[in-house]
Amino acid sequence: MRSLGNIIQLGIKELRSLWRDPALVLLIIYAFSANIYSSAMAIPESPHRASIAVVDEDRSQLSGRLLDAFQLPYFVPPVRIDQAAMDAGMDSGKYTFTLDIPPNFQRDVLGGKQPTIQLNVDATQISQAFSGAGYIQQIIQDETTTFVSRYRTDTVLPVDAVVRMAFNPNLERSWFGSLTAVIDQITMLSIILTGAALIREREHGTIEHLLVMPVTPLEIMLAKVWSMGLVVLVASALALRFVVEGLLAVPVQGSIALFLLGAALHLFATTSIGIFFGTVARSMPQLGLLIILALIPLQILSGEVTPRESMPMLIQVIMLAAPTTHFVELAQSILLRGANLAIVWPQLLGLLAIGSVFFLSALARLRQSLQ
């Protein structure tokens, strides 16, 4: 009971120290609010309210059909302009896309010719230029094919593929981006907070006070793990409720409680990593460099950015020792696909085993550094 009391009191001390550090408090608030929102919405994979102007030199039924095909929310209603206004509009940044439909366009299409349509793209609008150009080409192709099919015999394909999008029917990037950002912040902040807590005690000289008190390295480490882990866990739960589900309107398919259980086991591993880094680094800048070196492979090679199946087999095997590999699979299964405990229990056991190894390694390192 005395040991449990020490762990609780030391953890409360860590929470008070964190509260008195405005930089870390602001980092937590930003990471689980604005950063998640910007990660989900910053660079859309599809155009959104892109401006387009059309020089319609044909004035035919087909050209009118093309103009009507540009609809919200991808494009604002197209503006009819002449050729003299096309260059000026592009130079001033008024239009992201300008489309020049040549004379006799409909006649040439129905005559079996291949007329050329000029599409000008303002490539300085990088978030919309490349995806928008692809959308415009697809719209022109679809509308022209549909128009011509009224006058010619349809070509019947031997196979009709019916595509159904599971779990994300409209392919909304914000669904994947926001949940990925939550996973990133849980990993990053848990390492930063625990490592910074140990560095802060060394810089303020309070680590010497702990050494003369009747507390053990195990109690010191457990206090940092539960206190910093609790902060990140509460912040991630609030971010899921108010930012992901509320502000971004992303539907969470599975149990948030099951996800938080997996997050707690993940925090058990990552907070231990933070303490290990805190014993190695001698200052906050050194801690930051170590965290950067660890976070990049943890995030890129864990299956968060690209599927693990596309990586070399050696990398897949090595990354099984990383907690992020199991946590990413668990989080995506629960939040996006609605998986239950019967599906994700292997990832939970993997996080528990990896967390135990990291915890014992960090504890051994902490005992050595306190001697």
> How is 269-330 classified by DSSP, letter by letter?
HHHHHHHHHHHH-SSHHHHHHHHHHHHHHHHHTTTSSS-GGGS-HHHHHHGGGSHHHHHHHH
Q: Which domains does the chain have, with CATH numbers?
A: 2-31+172-370 (no CATH), 52-148 (3.40.1710.10)
Cβ(347)–Cβ(190) below 8 Å: no
Count Cβ atoms within 10 A of the Cβ of residue 310 and give its class: 0-12 exposed, 13-18 middle, 19 or more buried. exposed
CA dist., res. 70 & res. 143, Å (int): 11
Task: Report pLDDT for 153.
Answer: 52
CA dist., res. 189 & res. 28, Å (int): 7
CA dist., res. 199 & res. 275, Å (int): 9
Closest residue by Cα to residue 274 from 202, 197, 181: 197
What does each of the 371 residues of the chain score in pLDDT, given as a tens digit? 778 888 898 899 889 988 988 999 999 999 999 999 988 876 556 777 888 999 999 999 888 999 999 988 888 899 999 888 888 888 888 888 999 999 999 898 888 888 889 999 888 877 677 788 888 988 988 888 888 877 555 556 677 778 888 888 777 778 888 888 999 999 999 999 999 988 888 777 777 677 677 888 888 889 999 999 999 999 999 999 999 999 988 888 889 999 999 999 999 999 999 999 988 888 888 898 999 998 888 888 888 888 888 889 999 999 999 999 999 999 999 998 889 999 999 999 999 999 999 999 999 988 887 76
Neighbours of 133 (CB within 10 A): 17
Q: Which residues of 98-116 are buried (b: 16+ CB within 10 A; e: fewer)?
A: bbbbeeebbeebeeeeebe
Q: Mapping DSSP to helix (H, G, I), strand (E, B) and coil, where does residue 80 land?
A: strand
Task: Report pLDDT for 157.
Answer: 60
Closest residue by Cα to residue 305 from 157, 130, 177: 177
Q: Which residues contact 137 (CB under 8 A, 6 or more apart)?
A: 119
Please confirm whether the linkage preceding 73 is cis (ω < 30° from 0): yes
Q: Chain-centre distance of CA 217, in angstroms? A: 36
Q: pTM of the predicted model, to two decimals? A: 0.76
> How is 262-286 classified by DSSP, letter by letter?
HHHHHHHHHHHHHHHHHHH-SSHHH
CA dist., res. 249 & res. 268, Å (int): 30
Task: Report pLDDT for 349.
Answer: 96
Instruction: Report the C-alpha dihedral over residues 7, 10, 16, 17, rounded to 10 degrees.
Output: -130
CA dist., res. 335 & res. 255, Å (int): 7
Task: Report pLDDT for 212.
Answer: 72
Q: Mapping DSSP to helix (H, G, I), strand (E, B) and coil, where does residue 52 land?
A: strand
Task: Report pLDDT for 47.
Answer: 78
CA dist., res. 73 & res. 350, Å (int): 43
Closest residue by Cα to residue 63 from 18, 105, 120, 112: 105
DSSP category for residue 246: I
Task: Report pLDDT for 31.
Answer: 93
Tokens of 120: 């000008």
E-assigned strand segments in the chain: 52-56, 79-80, 97-101, 118-121
Closest residue by Cα to residue 117 from 108, 127, 125, 126: 108
